[in-house]
Structure 1
Amino acid sequence: MFGLYKFSSKLTLEEKVNQIQKGNTELLSEVLEDYKPFVKKAASKVCQRYIYDSDDEFSIALIAFHDALMKYQTDKGASVISFSEVVIKRRIIDYFRTHQKEKQEILFEPGDSQETAGYLEYDQSMKVYTADLESEARKDEIARYSAVLKEFGLTFSELASNSPKHKDARRNAIFIAKLVSSNQEWFSELKSKNRLPIKKIEKDVDVSRKTIERHRKYIIAVSILLNGHFPYLYEYVKEQL
């Protein structure tokens, strides 16, 4: 066991996750134990209060961290920590939603009117709290997306002015973006060189090079959105995609 610890201490978290995903259960246990303070801090940040080991939110956050370790992909661009924070935040918000729904069901059971009024007040406060959490999560996600776009020299305002105006042009651009996001070689080149692999794309699609270049910024932005960890933004635009 000492040998394992000595070896693993030299690895980055990303390297440890790679070993964990290959089946190293001892290393998984080690990482889960070592990162409990991080998990607790992430959960406390979402809940806006200190989270103890005995709290349900801590258990939910720890499970979410475990799932994040197993699902993390290096080619998505985010670090293990930032990805885990997103997963933990989403999982706790989902917990609050479920908890709120359970309280709503209790309201319809026979009982003292004063108790019912208390549940109503609790229900309303939970709604406000959950809405605030989701608003904060969306802001964080937009900030992360903006930071990634900045790496490609793009801004939200540019996307608005560079979005294809015609329906067919937008459909073609989205089709290309989906191809780029799903093709590991193309997306890796996009990330490493900060540019579209246009020569490779034009060989596989019935769209002119000129058209691809015209909508280059939009294609890059959509590719990043589809391939990254941006659940709120994706939910907002998925009907258009």
Structure 2
Amino acid sequence: MNNNASVVKARAEEIKKYDEILKGFGVSFSKLASISPDEEATKVAFDIAKIISERPSLKDEFYEFKALPTERLSELGFDEGIMRKYRLYITAITILFIEDFKHLQSYVGGL
């Protein structure tokens, strides 16, 4: 298999695994496609995802309950309204921060 074909295969495998993880959180690609946060909400989403990925207790809670730890995040000053409105988007970005999806991460700015 040439290098180009192996990259395509690796990318496809990442997408499949990402889709499986997203489904465990109640998120689908079609739901994500309908979400379009503005620039400010996108920045907040990335900030939240980064904090969850860097703090083991938040990351553990995220995976255990398959949900954003909104109460703990609001204690850190994050807006509950943004977390509710963009829950699916934040969840998807958080998973990208945590998991080892090199090919997918290269398509998303800020990772």
TM-score with structure 2 setting the length: 0.93
Specify the alignment match of 1:217 in structure 2: 88
CA distance in 1, matches of 2:34, 2:56: 28
Specify the alignment match of 1:233 in structure 2: 104
Q: Which structure carries more relative contact order (alpha carbon 8 Å, separation 6+)?
A: 2
Question: What stretches of structure 1 move > 4 A for 4+ residues in a row?
Answer: none
In the TM superposition, 1:186-197 aligns within 5 A as 186-197=58-69
In the TM superposition, 1:155-174 aligns within 5 A as 155-164=28-37, 166-174=38-46
In the TM superposition, 1:176-195 aligns within 5 A as 176-195=48-67
Specify the alignment match of 2:16 in structure 1: 143
CA distance in 2, matches of 1:240, 1:223: 12
1:163: Cα distance to partner? 3.6
Amino acid at match of 1:220: T
User: Larger % of helix: which?
Assistant: 1
Structure number with bigger Rg: 1
CA distance in 1, matches of 2:68, 2:86: 11
In the TM superposition, 1:23-172 aligns within 5 A as 129-164=2-37, 166-172=38-44
1:240: Cα distance to partner? 4.5
Pair 1:177–1:163, CA change in 2 (3 A): farther
Which stretches in structure 1 are left out of the alignment for 5+ residues? 1-46, 48-128
Which stretches in structure 2 are left out of the alignment for 5+ residues? none
8 Å Cα contact 2:46-2:110 kept in structure 1: no
Q: Secondary structure at the match of 1:162?
A: coil
1:229: Cα distance to partner? 1.1
CA distance in 2, matches of 1:220, 1:177: 7
CA distance in 2, matches of 1:195, 1:220: 8
Amino acid at match of 1:186: L
1:149: Cα distance to partner? 0.4
Cα RMSD over matched residues? Answer: 1.3
Aligned residue pair count: 111
1:226: Cα distance to partner? 0.6
TM-score with structure 1 setting the length: 0.44
Q: Percent identity?
A: 32
**Cα shift readout 1:166-214 (whole Å, capped 9, x = no counterpart):** 1111111111111111111111111011111100001112x32111111
CA distance in 2, matches of 1:236, 1:208: 27
CA distance in 1, matches of 2:17, 2:51: 23
